[in-house]
Chain A
Amino acid sequence: MSVASSSEAPSLVVGGTRIDWIEKGAGAPLLFLHAENGIEPARAAIDELAGHARVMAPTHPGYGRSELPKGMRTIDDLSYFYLDVLDQLDARDLTVVGVSLGAWIAAEIAVKTTARMARLVMANAVGVKVSDRETRDIADIFALTEPEYIAIAYSDPKVGTRDYKALPDGEVLAAARAREATARYAWNPYFHNPRLKSRLHRIRIPTLFLWGSQDRMLSEPYGRAYCAMIPGARFETIDRAGHFPDHEQPKVFAEQVLAFARGK
């Protein structure tokens, strides 16, 4: 295994780029791709998943303490980075789970090849354009204040609210890096790749769309339309969760993912 450990956190070096890398649990392999808010909010869900699977959870290039290779600018670039990760690990029969921007990465990987993947979970996924050109499918989060953003992204805003004065320096810097990295990858076209829709038919592995049903950054009809673009994909909702169901309902989220991973 090519996982290197530093004194601070385990990391993985792929093609000269060092990223933070969580690996825990035992069982069938599962790759978790975090959302645009970074790895920290997903920790409880990762722990739940690790109770029944061998979870691998990278921090995307540009987020947390992960390096950002020069010239990496798109989700397409990230998808090739993760294809290299999977080759380096020689991963097999993976369940790939992505939340929001992480789900977009997962879709961009899967349209290229699903050779190393058994199943795909897309939670509150972004990545495609559904409505007409004058309808904003995805709320412009960069035109909102943080409290306004939290109010539409969470079922319970208290879960998403952070007290930056009380957080450790590293987490505040990670929040700042997350906002910048998300803009780098998703500014324009806004949170989607206009080419992706015409490629989704290539995903022919069992796929589950999980949807925090109180998401007001994305709508459920958006999620259902996206789901219909992948042959045979299933749609399930998670109640009392908004845009980040892994953060708001980690237990329920993990149960639904694991049930699907077991083939149910």
Chain B
Amino acid sequence: MRVYHFSEQAYYPAWNEHSGTLRVTFPNRKCDPRVAADLLHRYYDEWQLCDELGLDIMLNEHHQTATCMSSSVVIGLGIVARATKRSRILVLGYPIGHRPDPLRAAEELSTIDVISRGRLDMGFIKGIPYEIAASNRNPTELMDRFWEAHDFIIKAMTTHDEDFNWDGEFFQYRHVNVWPRVWQEPHPPIWSTTGSSTQARVLGERGYVMATLGTGYGTRRIYDAYRKSYMAKHGRAPGADRFAYLGLVAVSHDREEARRRGHLIAGYLRTSPIVALPFRNPPGYVPPEDNARMLRGETPPRTYTKDGRVISMQFASVDELVDSGVLFCGTPDEVYAQIVDFCGHCGGMGNLLMMGQGGELTHEQTVDNLALFSREVLPRLQAWQQPDAEAAAVAA
């Protein structure tokens, strides 16, 4: 199993100063650039530490928000590509449907792959609903744009002998020829995220690494949708390395300290949904049939505990978060047991995206959290035997 450390790079000092929204329209007057600089340097120090600890690294981006200061993820990728030597560097993700210029995206990612000497994992994502305001992209055509940008970037990364022409629906170029060319052949591994079985089937056909977030003990259903379409397309079962899961991780030899850390990291879950209502569901972001159900007040639950209870990630207690597999929390033995139990339930899961820092967890706590995890949990996870992939796929 690989483990990627992730932080949203939150500007948490402003979290208590909002009046109903931490995103989109929360005034940047609340951001002190000196405080922001200290925090950003601190977060990058923690990623640099991962390189020494044997952990991999994951970065993302969001816009116009105190929950995440990474508004242009290629900047962070550039920093860690230069400042680390061993860690894989995962971007999850790069919202390519929002970008005005996929050629620029191909150039940026190729350069990062080269600077890191082939350590880039390339996650392409649709982006959460609140990102629409920052790009002003038409949400009704975002996925069509996404797939055209995807096709273009792959073509740009895999064409080496002559420039090519592109007259697409959304993007047009006459001479595409990316320098430097990518380090990893034919291109860096592609990842994506989803919460829906429909999209899981699409990703399974393509064989991309699929990550879910907050799906808890409802994850198996989405993985199985992937397994079925992967099997149908490729004639064999997808390995555990095709699956990734974002979980919060808080570990300490002192149980009470672990719970305190868990509570602080879960500040991410408590603040992330604080956004003015209309920005939560832009028109066309989900199909009209789903919107019709929402108009009637019917919203499907997202997160389940192992015994089938529905929880709200925003308001859940530490215990509920542990019960649902959203948070792995406790002593190293307990955290190891929780993670492998979850992976077993999923039928195999080979990439833990570990939120090892979140919210108000201090630098000292984070360093201890990451160091203890890498010392006492990671080696055991790496040695752990994943469930049989064929059996999981047949059961799907």
Residues on A close to B: CB < 8 A? 71, 73, 142-145, 164-165, 169, 172-173, 175-177, 179-180, 182-184, 187-188
Contact = CB atoms under 8 A, between A and B. Distances in A.
A164 B284 CA distance: 19
Interface of B: 133, 136-141, 169, 276-279, 282-284, 288-289, 291-292, 295-297
B292 A180 contact: no
B296 A183 contact: no
A164 B296 contact: yes
Give 5 nearest A-B pairs by CB, closest first.
Answer: A183-B283, A176-B291, A176-B288, A164-B295, A184-B140
Given A142-B278, A145-B277, A187-B139, A180 B284 contact: yes
Given A172-B292, A179-B283, A179-B291, A184 B138 contact: yes
Nearest to A186: B138
A188 B139 CA distance: 10
Majority SS at the chain B contact face: helix
A142 B277 CA distance: 10
SS of A interface (majority): helix
A102 to B, nearest CB: 18
A84 B377 CA distance: 68
Contacts of B279: 143
Contact of A172 (B133, B140, B295): B295
B278 A145 contact: yes
A142 B138 CA distance: 12
Contact of B292 (A144, A175, A183): A175
B127 to A, nearest CB: 15
Given A183-B140, A184-B138, A184-B141, A176 B292 contact: yes
Nearest to B294: A176
B136 A180 contact: no
Contacts of A175: 292, 295
A71 B282 CA distance: 20
Contacts of A183: 138-140, 282-284
B296 A165 contact: yes
Given A176-B288, A177-B288, A180-B291, 5 more contacts: A73-B141, A144-B278, A145-B278, A169-B292, A173-B292
A169 to B, nearest CB: 7
Nearest to B276: A143
10 contacts: A73-B141, A164-B296, A169-B292, A172-B295, A173-B288, A176-B295, A180-B283, A183-B284, A184-B138, A184-B284
A73 B276 CA distance: 28
Contacts of A179: 283, 291
B256 to A, nearest CB: 42
Nearest to B282: A142
B276 to A, nearest CB: 8
A188 B292 contact: no
B69 to A, nearest CB: 23
B126 to A, nearest CB: 16
B289 A182 contact: no
Nearest to A175: B295
Contact of B289 (A71, A73, A173): A173
B273 to A, nearest CB: 16
Interface centre among A142, A145, A176 (most CB of B within 10 A): A176
A176 B295 CA distance: 8
Contacts of B136: 187-188
Nearest to A166: B296
Contacts of A173: 288-289, 292
A142 B132 CA distance: 11
Contacts of A172: 292, 295-296
Contacts of A144: 278
B218 to A, nearest CB: 25
A142 B295 CA distance: 15
Contact of B278 (A143, A176, A184): A143
A224 B231 CA distance: 63
Contacts of A184: 138, 140-141, 284
A154 B282 CA distance: 22
Interface core residue of B133, B279, B288, B291 (most chain A CB under 10 Å)? B288
B140 A187 contact: yes
Nearest to B297: A165
